[in-house]
Amino acid sequence: MKWSFIIEQKLKAAALLSSIMLLIIIGTLISRNNMNGIGKSFSSIYQDRLLPATTIIYMTENLYGKRLSLEKFLLADNEMTSDQIILGLQNYDRNIDSLVRSFEQTFLVDQEAKSLSAFKNRIEEYVLLEKMMLNLHKNGNSDGSRKLFEGAGASTFQSTIHHLNELTTIQSNVGKELMAESRSEMASFGMISFLQISLAVVIGLIILVFIQSSNIINKPKIKQDGGSYFNLN
């Protein structure tokens, strides 16, 4: 009878411990998945948000460099030749094209893809306007080139900068979303870790209780003088 009771208790303890261990394993897998998600989020913040934001700064710098160079050539008296300004503008164009290709290699949300496409269209329009300004200036129509620079040229340039500002805003918003997602996953990871520690403590208590119960059952009995038995302490 005693042995059947002991076996029954062992089976109950084994089933309970197995259930707790299963919960710990599941929690560990979930925690690992959360950590992978956090790692991906931080990697995305750097690769797809921070680096592209830097790229936008360089694109803006090159655009203003083009604008100022052309302004000096068309509106100010300087010794720069047409060939020199053309070479300078082409160098800026190559830099911008390289930066755009670099930006396109990152992960783009739908809004970014649309804004980047519009930016590329404005760049092409502005390059065509630059060629028209230079042709007018080359043919002796300095007033026409200046009017084009200050009119359609200025409007297209501002539209180009506007799309870069849109990209910057999108970068910021998506970055905030990634940070919020990372904080949520960190909170989930902390809660699961607390539950795992709690379950580990429960396992320890169960083992202690089981050992204590086994000791009580297995204590030998001795006969008293009156014929009754009592447990040794």
| CATH number of the domain residue 185 falls in | 1.20.120
HSE-CB at 48 with a 13 A cutoff on CA atoms is: 19
Whether 161 maps to a domain, the answer reads: yes
Rounded distance, CA 212 to CA 79, Å?
Answer: 99
Q: The tokens of 215 are what?
A: 């000791």
pLDDT at 45: 62
Whether 99 maps to a domain, the answer reads: yes
Q: How many other C-beta atoms are found inside a 10 Å radius of the C-beta of residue 24?
A: 17
Is residue 106 within 8 A of residue 51, CB to CB? The reply is yes
Whether 14 maps to a domain, the answer reads: no
Rounded distance, CA 123 to CA 133, Å?
Answer: 15
Distance of CA 10 to the CA centre of its chain: 49
Is residue 69 within 8 A of residue 88, CB to CB? The reply is yes
The one-letter amino acid at 81: T
CA geometry: angle at 75 spanning 71 and 78, to 5°?
90
Whether 232 maps to a domain, the answer reads: no
HSE-CB at 123 with a 13 A cutoff on CA atoms is: 24
Rounded distance, CA 213 to CA 207, Å?
Answer: 10
Q: Each residue's pLDDT tens digit in the chain (233 positions)?
A: 555 655 666 666 667 666 766 776 676 666 666 666 655 655 566 666 677 788 888 999 999 999 999 988 888 766 678 888 899 999 999 999 999 998 888 888 888 889 889 999 999 999 999 999 999 988 888 889 889 999 999 999 999 999 898 888 888 777 777 666 766 666 676 676 667 677 667 766 766 666 666 555 555 544 445 554 444 44
Whether 202 maps to a domain, the answer reads: yes
Strands (E) in 147-206, as ranges, are none
Task: Collapse the DSSP code of 1 into the 3-class scheme (helix H, G, I; strand E, B; otherwise coil) and give the result.
Answer: coil
Q: For 83-95, how does the pLDDT look when each residue is reduced to its tens digit (9 = 90+)?
A: 888 999 999 999 9
What DSSP character marks residue 110? Answer: H
pLDDT at 149: 92
HSE-CB at 142 with a 13 A cutoff on CA atoms is: 8
Q: For 98-147, how does the pLDDT look when each residue is reduced to its tens digit (9 = 90+)?
A: 999 988 888 888 888 898 899 999 999 999 999 999 999 888 888 898 89
Task: Collapse the DSSP code of 221 into the 3-class scheme (helix H, G, I; strand E, B; otherwise coil) and give the result.
Answer: strand
Whether 146 maps to a domain, the answer reads: yes
Give the closest residue to 39 by CA, choosing from 27, 29, 47.
47
Structural domains of the chain, count: 1
Q: Which residue has the tokens 């169960």?
A: 206
Whether 224 maps to a domain, the answer reads: no
Q: What domain range includes position 40?
A: 26-216
Contacts of 16 (CB under 8 A, 6+ apart): 206
Q: How many other C-beta atoms are found inside a 10 Å radius of the C-beta of residue 27?
A: 18
Task: Collapse the DSSP code of 230 into the 3-class scheme (helix H, G, I; strand E, B; otherwise coil) and give the result.
Answer: strand
